[in-house]
Structure 1
């Protein structure tokens, strides 16, 4: 392999573990796979830290690479930037940046999940179900204890107190594909949707398939004297050329030998669409009465005046159309669709809301209790002209099974519409109202309901503060804050933040082509007061909801 500038098209470097053609061999089996003016890609051996504490005795990959770069440049003070890490116990590909510009570019690639990372692992136990090509998804929340060990739980509400070390539980999603199963072990490929500490290792333990050799996370055997996890593919947009590059390192042959004869195919891309049995439903059944009263009895002005008219416009239902209403609640949209001449099938995970929907339903409405991520298992006969998921997709994790199943149920040319809180401006815990031009007044949580009592100067401006956007997150939503404040138990649901590009990518992966993106503002107005004009201006400028419409691709003639 030649060093120097990367090519202008997609490139792939392949290395057999134990030898990399043309690579520079450094200490303890560390190998440089590619190096140019901006980046340095390495194949790290198991047992080596990605980065240590520095100083004498630091035998990490980072320390060895810093020495290498200094020798190449023949000057002290030459810098190197850590972009991401591999566990000490794992082996495989890592990229480091040689300039600050390259570092910022690559960090953004990884933070926004544009970077491609594929792992190979040998795990204890055999996978049943659909055979060697089976796929699966593990979704849970990970938290770290005081010893630095990660733990997996199905819901953050299972952990009553914040862990002694680290932050609160964070959502984690791992996809896997089974490549080979034999002799009580399996060889799998793994793709991360999130990048938590020890994520693959703890998720394999979570489903009862610990990685061979991983005693820390439940393994009972260690035949190779190492954790059998290898980062086998790494791809990203090159920070200098802006062209895609991809590097690969075949996993050690010993992984496959653990399963007996045959090499298998460890390099196929990992895909997943199966929802594991351990995945919990984020159900609104506990707050069904409150939700029904909010929308049905009292009415919600946002729902009635903004969301429903917008959804009806995007769906454009016609007489005879068959519509699927996903997370239908008590059937408000379904009834409106029937009045427009369509028939509607509603699905919701809350038995109480479905019971209410049936009570209020009209001819042409049909309702089912079911998990939106398992639509295919509900026996919904026939195809649909359109499907809608209104103010619910942000509360469902993972969302890909919902979108994939919806696409499968649509006719070619069928329409899928979803509405969510705008992830850029209205994400709970990440965005807030902000005042400029005067000392900060009291918090403005009640801004949507009317003017603040404080009297600001006329030059004060109201803006929406955004503290984070691209990284995924989960927030606990207390559905009964008033009752909880008076000592009653909290009723909690979860909302999941995702960037707009994540929604668009999920639609595209399901074969749904985006045809409309609309941003809807609140139509509320403040009561007369010193802040009313500015509050109303801010409402009209900063959208509250994001609506997406996509169409299922028609087959080629």
Structure 2
């Protein structure tokens, strides 16, 4: 149900509904204005202006349904849905799939597939990505179903309230656990590559080695920050680039992409505050590397 329902408490009496929604319920000013213009904010069953003053016991209903369009062509591409509720959809993106249409990849993207999924399941939503993955990185991608949900989950991301875990296989032998706290930036605006460099943005990567051989190590990674290419840059910098990472390491005859998988997400739901933990199965090409370590 695409609706928020609140009951005003004694402490809310005398508070303007706009302030109640913004400061008590964390809706953005932009969203409040948009819903108000459409008459989607009701008190005791009637549409009200945003200067309405609440009384204790007032029933506030916020209808999040809006007519939206997006220039993304729906395509009947299979997607693996890992989790879904009224606010978000989480899918397991396969490797070699671009997340969002670009000039070079206008079709065949995850967003094209998700748009088709929304249409097939009669959901009036557009594609709002909460996180993104590189083309060659597999794993969990979160999509918000409304402007409200996107704002809420983006805030959780910014506050580090969503735990993001990755599985990677890196070159060489390492053991134990540790934290890489090194700033990352681009050496120039034209550069695709990022580097560890002074004056860059703070980037923090926690890791734990799960298995290791002389040639490679399986690492469980938890991101504290989420900078572009962060994992790839950090492990390359410490001398253990990801297997198959041609941008920050070298080609491998064991895998034809960087061995990186967005493995697990832990968060609380927007409305009920329920704790959710989901994982995405490790893809076959990375599993082969893990099997190689175990030989």
Which TM-score applies when normalising by structure 1?
0.37
Aligned with residue 52 of structure 1, among 101, 125, 128: 101
Question: Is the alpha carbon distance of 1:74 and 1:171 closer, same or farther for their aligned partners in structure 2, counting shifts above 3 Å?
Answer: closer
8 Å CA contact 2:211–2:293 kept in 1: the answer is no
8 Å CA contact 1:182–1:260 kept in 2: the answer is no
User: Tell me, which stretches of 5 or more residues in structure 1 are unaligned?
Assistant: 1-25, 157-168, 265-557
Distance 2:185 2:105 in 1: 33
Counterpart in 2 of 1:17? none
**How far off its partner does 1:91 sit?**
0.3
Residues 1:231 and 2:278 aligned together: no
Aligned with residue 137 of structure 2, among 90, 93, 112: 90
Moved over 6 A (4+): none
**How far off its partner does 1:261 sit?**
5.4
**How far off its partner does 1:253 sit?**
4.7
8 Å CA contact 1:49–1:88 kept in 2: the answer is yes
Which TM-score applies when normalising by structure 2?
0.68
Distance 2:103 2:84 in 1: 23
Counterpart in 2 of 1:201? 232
Residues 1:139 and 2:170 aligned together: no
Describe the superposition over 1:64-101 as per-residue Cα deviations: whole angstroms up to 9, x where unpaired: 101210232277xx423111111111000111111222
Distance 1:55 1:137 in 2: 36
8 Å CA contact 1:102–1:240 kept in 2: the answer is no
Aligned ranges 1:6-25 → 2 under 5 Å:
none
Please provide the CA RMSD for this pair.
2.3
Aligned ranges 1:339-418 → 2 under 5 Å:
none
Residues 1:122 and 2:164 aligned together: no
SS at match of 2:232: helix
Distance 1:55 1:73 in 2: 30
Distance 1:124 1:79 in 2: 40
SS at match of 2:121: helix
8 Å CA contact 2:165–2:221 kept in 1: the answer is yes
Distance 2:233 2:147 in 1: 33
8 Å CA contact 1:92–1:231 kept in 2: the answer is yes
Distance 2:227 2:181 in 1: 12
SS at match of 1:216: coil
**How far off its partner does 1:103 sit?**
1.1
Q: Rg larger in 1 or in 2?
A: 1
Residues 1:36 and 2:85 aligned together: yes
Counterpart in 1 of 2:69? none
Distance 1:262 1:55 in 2: 36
**How far off its partner does 1:53 sit?**
3.1
Aligned with residue 151 of structure 1, among 195, 202, 207: 195
8 Å CA contact 2:93–2:110 kept in 1: the answer is yes
Distance 2:288 2:129 in 1: 33
Aligned ranges 1:251-270 → 2 under 5 Å:
251-258=282-289, 260=291
Count of aligned residue pairs for this structure pair: 218
Distance 2:105 2:250 in 1: 34
Distance 1:261 1:56 in 2: 34
Aligned with residue 218 of structure 1, among 246, 249, 254: 249
Distance 1:54 1:63 in 2: 14
Residues 1:171 and 2:202 aligned together: yes
Describe the superposition over 1:235-276 as per-residue Cα deviations: whole angstroms up to 9, x where unpaired: 211123221111101323543432555769xxxxxxxxxxxx
Looking at both structures, which has the greater relative contact order when contacts are Cα pairs under 8 Å and sequence separation is at least 6?
Answer: 2
Describe the superposition over 1:12-41 as per-residue Cα deviations: whole angstroms up to 9, x where unpaired: xxxxxxxxxxxxxx62x6311122321111
Distance 1:261 1:213 in 2: 15
8 Å CA contact 1:121–1:230 kept in 2: the answer is yes
Aligned ranges 1:145-544 → 2 under 5 Å:
145=188, 146-153=190-197, 155-156=198-199, 169-258=200-289, 260=291
Counterpart in 2 of 1:106? 153
Question: Is the alpha carbon distance of 1:263 and 1:97 closer, same or farther for their aligned partners in structure 2, counting shifts above 3 Å?
Answer: farther
Describe the superposition over 1:159-189 as per-residue Cα deviations: whole angstroms up to 9, x where unpaired: xxxxxxxxxx211111111111114111101
Residues 1:81 and 2:128 aligned together: yes
Counterpart in 2 of 1:71? 120
